[in-house]
Amino acid sequence: IPVDPFDLVIFGGTGDLARRKILPALFRRFCAGQWPSDVQIVGAARRTLDDTGFRSLVSDALKEHAPKHARDRVAVEGFLSRLRYVPVEAEGPQGWEELAGLLGQNRVRAFYFSVAPRLFGPLAERIEAFGMATEKTRIVVEKPFGHDLDSARSLNATLAAHFDENQIYRIDHYLGKETVQNLMAVRFGNMLFEPLWNSQYVDHIQITVAETVGVDGRESYYDRAGAMRDMMQNHLMQLLCLIAMEPPAKFDPDAVRDEKLKVIRALDPVLPHHIVRGQFVAAEGLPGYREVVGNPRSTTESYVALRAHISNWRWAGTPFYLRTGKRLVARSSVINVMFKDAPHSIFGEDAGRHANVLSIRLQPNEGITLKVTIKEPGQGGMRLVDVPLDMSFAEALGPENQVSPDAYERLIMDVVRGNQTLFMRGDEVEAAWAWTDPIIAGWQSRGDVPKPYDCGSTGPGDAELLMKRDGRRWQGIK
């Protein structure tokens, strides 16, 4: 769907995120023909560059991060011709007059804050002071949105001093993934699942976000953050909300976000023995966490698994097991809805018992698998086995739909359209921190040390015990 003309200013336009994600995403949308001809992208950062210098930097970035599309020289030239660059000092006066002079009137202008959070305030202040804040102004901010409740509140207050909540787009790129939205389509577009979506039929839910990467390149940030702040408080929490929320009355930003917020607020505090922290150690030729971050005494977790409870009518008594970690055996983001066993086996216990599992794969190979029970083929009487009803979205939807836009493409276009459904609202972020803070404070006060786990493993053994104690086990990561 084409969008109206817009100006997009990327503060931090020369930075890593802009080069790896934002500019390639914009380029791919340009190639998809989603833009009118007079769109303008302005890189604004500290570095002294002119338009030509910025275009050459972006051209290199496209070759590296959007190689397939970048082979089309005409498309690349077309895209580069939309780019401008202004050297801007976020904390000083340099560049702001020039930037203000570049922007069109009466059109959407989005300011992407791809800079350290301490610059959000100075940027917001100057956008207003230099007359760039209009009704059509939107600002986009990246994670991390604070490192605890106090800092998130203060960031929210800083932004609220200059912009309305409906102008603020807090990005969690997980929400831009195709399958994450499919989660809502599957739940609320089918009669089949929703009646079973509660503690009467669901034994428990597992949410796994496993990564094979380590923390290279982000060592100092990560060592201060850890998996709880870096992944659990935002990405896994968002997935939990979407899987657990009540049906919103309509697919509208505030209706959806109101329901998500209710889930976070209904979360019980997590008990210390329901959490396992881990830290990877050298194995398979890969260095351990402490070596990578250069801090031999670091107690930061690169893995966390926990059991959460949502105290509401729908979910009372159904645990949610969440785990995420780095340097694990495989890259996989998956939600497993583990249904209860049939209440009685008419085939006798010898036939075997199998519960249904609905697996929603976010990556890789986005799709859905439903494990159903059938008779084991053959003559040997009635024995039961599981078989997967497997649907890969790419296969099911045909070749023309195999390349769905990546999360950044979708989210940036949503900013331009003014659709906040897939962005976190300020109160959601604060509620998530309010749940996370006591967990981290508990570790600090107890002097908790994470359990070691090997690079390339499935995480610390204690995470298996967390399940075993409850008579359950994790579904495989691979």
Q: Where do contacts with ligand NAD occur on this chain (CB under 6 A)?
A: 12-18, 45-47, 88-91, 114-117, 119, 142-144
With beta carbons less than 8 A apart as the criterion, state whether 119 and 91 touch: yes
We find the least distance from the C-beta atom of residue 147 to ligand NAD, in angstroms, to be: 11
Report which of 113, 293, 141 is spatially closest to residue 221, judged by C-alpha positions: 293
Nearer to ligand NAD (CB atom), residue 77 or residue 91: 91
Give the CB-nearest residue to ligand NAD: 15
Q: How far apart are CA 26 and CA 9, in angstroms?
A: 12
Q: Which of 162, 204, 235, 274 is catalytic?
A: 235
Angle between helices 253-265 and 426-446 (to 10 degrees): 20
> From residue 384, how far is each of 196, 355, 369, 374, 390 by CA, in Å?
22, 11, 18, 6, 19
Q: Is 259 annotated as a binding residue?
A: no
Q: How far is the CB of 94 from ligand NAD (least distance, A)?
A: 9
* Residue 230 marked as a ligand binder: yes
Based on CB atoms, which residue is closest to ligand NAD, 44 or 243?
44
Contact between 455 and 330 under an 8 Å Cβ cutoff? The reply is: no
Separation CA 34–CA 136 (nearest Å): 19
Active site residue 69: no
Q: Check the annotation: does 211 bind a ligand.
A: yes
Looking at beta carbons only, is 15 or 24 nearer to ligand NAD?
Answer: 15
From 221, 226, 118, 242, select the one nearest 177 (Cα to Cα): 242
Residue 413: phi, psi to the nearest 5? -65, -35
How near is the Cβ of 43 to ligand NAD at its closest, in Å?
8
Query: Is 143 labelled a binding residue?
Result: yes
Nearer Cβ to ligand NAD (156/336):
156
Provide CB contacts within 8 A for 231, sequence distance 6+. Answer: 209, 304, 324
Which residues make beta-bridge pairs with 305? 276, 323
Which is nearer to ligand NAD, 225 or 329 (by Cβ)? 225
Radius of gyration of the chain (CA): 24
Pick between residue 119 and residue 282 the one whose CB is nearest to ligand NAD. 119
Question: Annotation-wise, does 342 bind a ligand?
Answer: no
CB of 320 vs ligand NAD, minimal distance in Å: 25
Q: Is 13 annotated as a binding residue?
A: yes
**Closest C-alpha among 179, 294, 306, 165 to residue 242:** 179
Asked if residue 326 belongs to a known ligand binding site, the reply is yes
Phi, psi (deg, nearest 5) at residue 195: -65, -20
> Residue 331 CB, nearest distance to ligand NAD (Å)?
16
- CA nearest neighbour of 174 among 124, 243, 108: 243
Are the C-beta atoms of residues 42 and 51 closer than 8 Å to each other?
no
CB of 58 to ligand NAD, least distance (A): 12
425 is in an annotated binding site: no
Binding region? 12-19, 46, 143, 173, 177, 211, 230, 326
Among all residues, which ones are annotated catalytic? 235
Binding region for NADP(+)? 12-19, 46, 143
Binding region for substrate? 173, 177, 211, 230, 326
